[in-house]
Structure 1
Amino acid sequence: MRLANRVALVSGAGGPMGAAVAKRFAEEGASLILTDISATRLNAAVESIGPGMAPGTKLFSQRGSVLVREEAARLVEDGVAEVGPVDILINIVGGIRSQQMFEPFLTMTEERFDATFALNLKGNFHLTQLVAPGMLERKYGRIVNVSSIIFAGAAGQVDYGAAKAAVASMTRSLALEFAPHVTVNCIAPATIRTSVIDRLSQEEQDQWSSVMAMKRFGEPREIANAVLFLASEEASYITGDVLPVSGGTWPAL
C-alpha cells in the first residue's frame, strides 16, 4: 500500500473530488482527517469510505469551514489528537459560489470577486500554515493543491481564472520555501463530473467536452489517482509542478 502509516488531511471531503481522493487514499492504507462545510455531505462520505479503511488505520471527520482560521485550527488540533500528525495535506476546497458560472468582467461585483478568491485561497493558506511546521520538523510532507486549466485565462471567468493562477503561484512559491523535505504540487483539472455540471446547459456541456481530446468530462476518481501519485513516494522528486488532468486540454487561451 502506497500510503501505509501515513496520515492525510483532505478538505472538501464531502464533495465528489474530495470524497474520491479520501476513498482512494483509504484504499492505499492512509489514516484520514476529513472535513467539509456540509455535515450532510461529510457524513455521507465517511459512511462510504469507512468500510474500505485498512486494518489499523483511523478516520476522523469534523464539519467546518477551512476558510475560517479558528475552525481550521480546531480541525487540525482535534484531528492530530485523534489520528496523528499530518503527513499529507490535500487542499480540495475551491470553485465558484455563484450559480452563474460565467460573468463578464465589466458587470462582475466586488463581492463575487472577493468571494471567489477567498474560496480558492483562504483554506489553502490556513491549513498549510497549520500543518507545514510539523512536516518541516519531521522532515517529511506532501501538499497537493487544486488549480484549474482556467488559470491560463478564460472569458467570463476572470475571478476564477485569477484565483486559480494564484493557487498555482502559491504552490510554486511554497515548494521553494519548504524544500527539500516537503513537496508542494498542484493539479489543474479541466471540467470534472461534479455538481458544476448541473450549472451548465446541454449545449454548454457539449461545447466543453468537444474541445477535449478525450471528448468527455473527467471523473472524480481520475482526479484522485493523480492526487495519489503526487502524494506518494513515486513523486518524491517532483515539487513546484502543475499537473494538468484535463483530457488532453492544455492550459492556454
Structure 2
Amino acid sequence: MNAPIGSGPSVHTGRFAGRKAVVTGAAQGIGLAVAHRLVAESADVVLVDRAETVHEAAADLGAHAVLADLETYEGAESAVTESLARLGRIDVLVNNVGGTIWAKPYEHYTPDEIQAEIRRSLFPTLWTTRAVLPHLIEQRSGTVVNVSSIATRGINRIPYSAAKGGVNALTASLAMEAAPYGIRVVATAAGGTDAPPRRVARGPAPRTGQERHWYQQIVDQTVASTLMKRYGTPEEQAAAICFLASDEASYITGTVLPVGGGDPG
C-alpha cells in the first residue's frame, strides 16, 4: 500500500532552482518526502531533525543535515543559525515537526501527556518560525509552509488537535504581520497518510486491547470522514507543500489547504 519515496505526483524540475530551503522533521515520513521533492526540483536543502538518521537521509539526497531538538527555542535558533551557515540564506521554511504521541479519549490523558503533545506538535513550529523570521524580514522575502492536520476535528487526540489548531492560528495571524515584508505564511492540513514504517517511533505503541481499540477508532474515523475513503501518501502531501512553497502560489498567504481526500478538518 505504501508508495516508494519519489513516486506519485510528477516533479517540476527546476522549479526551485537557486532557492534555499529548510525542512524540519525531515528524517522520515512527510518531511523526508518534501526534502526529496525539493531536491528533485533543484533546491539546495537542509534537513533538520533530532534523530541521528537525518545525516543518512541527507547524504542519500546530496543535501545538508542539521541535528536539533526543535521543542526548545535554543534548538530552533541553533538549527536556523546552522542552516544559514550552510545555505547563506533561507527562502523556504517547511515546519513539519509534529505527530500524535498517544491515542485515547481526552479524560485519559495525564497533565504531563497533554504538555508533551503540545511541545511536540505546536512549539517546534512556533520556535522555528520565530528563529527564522528576523532573517526573512531583513531579506524582505521568503515563504513559511506549516504542516497542520485535519485532526483539528477528530477523536482520541485532543491535545494534538489543539496543537494543530494553534498552527492554523499562527498561519493566519503571522501572514497578516509578515505580508508587508514580502513574506508568505501558508499551511497544509494533512489527512491520514500511509507513510512507511517509522525508523524512530513517535511514542509508545498501543499495549493493551483498549489502547489498540482507541487507535483503531482514529483510523476508522479518519477514513469515514475522507470522501476518497483512503489514506494519502507522503508524496501527495509533499506535492501540496511544495506547490505552496513555490512561486506558483505567489498570491496565496494566510491559507490552510486541506490535503485529506475531501475531509476539510
TM-score by length of 2: 0.83
Shift of 1:21: 0.3
For the pair 1:245 / 2:259, whether they are aligned, the reply is yes
Change (3 A) 1:39 1:165: same
Structure 1 CA distance, aligned partners of 2:179 and 2:222?
37
For the pair 1:132 / 2:133, whether they are aligned, the reply is yes
Task: Give the aligned residue type for 1:137.
Answer: E
2:250 paired residue number = 236
For the pair 1:91 / 2:90, whether they are aligned, the reply is no
1:81-160 equivalences under 5 Å are: 81-98=85-102, 101=103, 103-151=104-152, 153-160=153-160
2:64 paired residue number = 60
2:209 paired residue number = none
1:55 paired residue number = none
Q: Secondary structure at the match of 2:144?
A: strand
1:1-253 equivalences under 5 Å are: 1-40=14-53, 42-50=54-62, 59-98=63-102, 101=103, 103-151=104-152, 153-180=153-180, 181-194=182-195, 195=198, 205=219, 208-251=222-265
TM-score by length of 1: 0.87
Change (3 A) 1:82 1:203: closer
5+ residue gaps, structure 1, are: 51-58
Structure 2 CA distance, aligned partners of 1:121 and 1:214?
28
Q: Contact 2:193–2:234 at 8 Å: present in 1 too?
A: yes
The structure 1 segments of at least 4 consecutive aligned residues displaced by more than 3 Å after TM superposition are 198-208
Q: Contact 2:171–2:254 at 8 Å: present in 1 too?
A: yes
5+ residue gaps, structure 2, are: 1-13, 207-211
Would you say how many aligned residue pairs link Structure 1 and Structure 2? 237
Structure 2 CA distance, aligned partners of 1:155 and 1:186?
22
Shift of 1:186: 0.6
Task: Give the aligned residue type for 1:183.
Answer: R
Structure 1 CA distance, aligned partners of 2:118 and 2:82?
27
Q: Secondary structure at the match of 1:191?
A: coil
